[in-house]
Structure 1
Amino acid sequence: MTAPRLSALIVARNEEARLPDCLASVAFADEVVVVLDRSTDGSARIAQVAGARVIEGAWELEGERRNTGIEACTGDWVLEVDADERVDAALAVAVRETIATSAHAWHQVPVDNYVGDRLVRFGWAGSFGTTSVPRLFRRGAKRWRAQRVHPGLDWTGTEGPKITRGALVHLVDRDISDMLRRLDRYSTAKAADLIAAGDIGTLRANVRRFFSRGFKSYVSRKGYREGGWGVLLALCTGAFPLLSYLKAKLEPEKHGGGR
């Protein structure tokens, strides 16, 4: 019986500094597809030299550019990896073993999140970070929705057991300032999504979410075990929906709601 073919999909924008290590980590795949969104640096050349198939374009919505990449993959299975992520050796083996035997359509992959050189294991919650992601799936099983930030997913088929060996190493933030800049970017994009949907919510609901999400991050997800890092994660996790709402409410003209 022929072994299933695996496509590795990387979606990036101006990531020439981090792309080489990411590409090297997915070299075990049968095919590598790189989607470059409005990139002006040397990312295309780096990907081509590594043997990847490169698709260049401009997409306003994250869901659209990810779907473009998925549709370009020709493997039986697809593994999605961002430019700031690396597939460690143990996960590479586990992925190959999983697709060789799985009767399911998709699997969660474990994530190790780093802020600078520090591995932060606890406290990731909500839309600000996670310790597992549904990135391994049969071609045709996954479709992203048309949203700018953290788009929703539509699935065909059943979820299989979570992969438990190895990890997707995520270099999520360089430092605290980088974390706060990410919060600003995410909330700006989310504000545009809220306005486009025609329902930005209410102040009361989002204040409530600030506290409930912060509690989930710090207590339920054990962020307290990370000391000050856990406090930072709880604040950012809670602030994301509230800040998104405030941008959409107070500055709609800056986020697609003006005339």
Structure 2
Amino acid sequence: MSHLPISLVVITHNEANNIARCLDSVPFASEKLVVDSGSDDDTVAVAQAHGARVVHQDWLGFGAQRNFASTQASHDWILVLDADEFLEPALVAELETRLPSMLQSGAAVGILRRSTWYMGAPMRWYRPMVGEKVERLYHRGRARWTDARVHESLRFEGAAEMFEAPFHHLHNPTLPHKQLKVLRYAELKCRDWHARGRAPRIWMAPLVYLAAFLKDWLLRLAILDGWRGFIVAHVAASYAIYKRLRYYEMHRNPGSIESARDVLLRHGLDR
């Protein structure tokens, strides 16, 4: 199979169980680059065994880590995946057909569709997990990730091309995995708010939970996915309210920021 002048870039930390599947799903990339932030499992060895060049970088936050990774790639065009994501054969075929002309164009990004597996099966109706449109293919001279600690986004100037076949995301394998991620992501988001001096607005917390739950359960059609839909809507709403409760604590008791950092570090949730 011919290779295209594109770099697959994956940022990792303890992803030994996922990284091989991710790397192997992109056979057309002439470079596979893994930027690891200090894994203590076999992530690095597995990545190298599956053809990746591995670069170490201490954790900078999601946006900054992705921007650093972009600078380490050998090619201007970058396909970025998370370790628990992978391309399906139909998307590989579509990319191999369309990428040669796109890489020669003035386009800035390619938009891919992501299909998510949740609790062991694909979601069928919940809109954020069925055909979600995400910018994952980009020219590093025309696009850059925001510097947010979490929930980063790609900012770009130029045209965007849409691809039809989906790639797959194996969502957190269990609810305990998800809850640990919620703790980490909420802490990072609250630190961003704290750095910007945002007001706590704790009075909004009950309204935030209700609005977030109803948005996902009804407007985003989680209700049609049965009990899994109820669970995903509840978890999303709980995350929305927990961020606000935790930020109020940071505002009310600034000493809790370092205390929380210490306990999260001890459990590998702060890097």
Tell whether the structures are fold-level matches, with TM greater than 0.5: yes
* Structure 1 position 120 matched with structure 2 position 123: yes
1:242 counterpart residue number: 241
Residue 135 of structure 2: SS of its match in structure 1? strand
**Distance change >3 Å, CA 206–CA 105, structure 1 → 2:** farther
2:62 counterpart residue number: 62
Query: Does the 8 Å CA contact 2:144/2:156 hold for their aligned counterparts?
Result: yes
1:108 counterpart residue number: 111
2:20 counterpart residue number: 20
Write the letter of the residue equivalent to 2:198. D
2:77 counterpart residue number: 77
CA-to-aligned-CA distance 1:215-247 (integer Å, 9 cap, x gap): 221122111111111111212222223211211
Write the letter of the residue equivalent to 1:237. A
Write the letter of the residue equivalent to 2:142. A
1:18, distance to aligned residue in structure 2 (A) = 1.4
**Distance change >3 Å, CA 159–CA 210, structure 1 → 2:** farther
CA-to-aligned-CA distance 1:5-38 (integer Å, 9 cap, x gap): 1211111101112111111112321111100012
Counterpart-to-counterpart distance in 2, 1:208 and 1:192? 22
Mapping for residues 20-169 of structure 1, pairs under 5 Å: 20-102=20-102, 103=105, 104-123=107-126, 125=128, 131-160=132-161, 162-165=162-165, 167-169=166-168
Counterpart-to-counterpart distance in 1, 2:167 and 2:198? 35
2:263 counterpart residue number: none
Instruction: Return the TM-score normalized by structure 1.
Output: 0.87
1:187 counterpart residue number: 186
Counterpart-to-counterpart distance in 1, 2:235 and 2:174? 14
CA RMSD of superposed structures (Å): 2.6
1:85, distance to aligned residue in structure 2 (A) = 0.9
Query: Does the 8 Å CA contact 2:76/2:141 hold for their aligned counterparts?
Result: no
Residue 21 of structure 1: SS of its match in structure 2? helix
Write the letter of the residue equivalent to 1:253. G
Structure 1 runs of 4+ off > 6 angstroms? none
1:256, distance to aligned residue in structure 2 (A) = 5.3
1:79, distance to aligned residue in structure 2 (A) = 0.8
**Distance change >3 Å, CA 141–CA 255, structure 1 → 2:** farther
Residue 143 of structure 1: SS of its match in structure 2? strand
Comparing both structures, which one devotes a greater share of its residues to helix? 2
Q: Percent identity?
A: 25
Counterpart-to-counterpart distance in 1, 2:227 and 2:209? 18
1:222 counterpart residue number: 221
Gaps of 5+ in 2: 261-271
Residue 154 of structure 1: SS of its match in structure 2? strand
Instruction: Return the TM-score normalized by structure 2.
Output: 0.83
**Distance change >3 Å, CA 182–CA 123, structure 1 → 2:** farther
Write the letter of the residue equivalent to 2:84. D
CA-to-aligned-CA distance 1:188-207 (integer Å, 9 cap, x gap): 22122221222154124444
Counterpart-to-counterpart distance in 2, 1:67 and 1:194? 21
CA-to-aligned-CA distance 1:105-138 (integer Å, 9 cap, x gap): 112211111124211133354xx99823110112
1:210, distance to aligned residue in structure 2 (A) = 2.6
Residue 168 of structure 1: SS of its match in structure 2? strand
CA-to-aligned-CA distance 1:52-100 (integer Å, 9 cap, x gap): 1111020231111111111112224211111111111111122233322
Counterpart-to-counterpart distance in 2, 1:226 and 1:91? 25
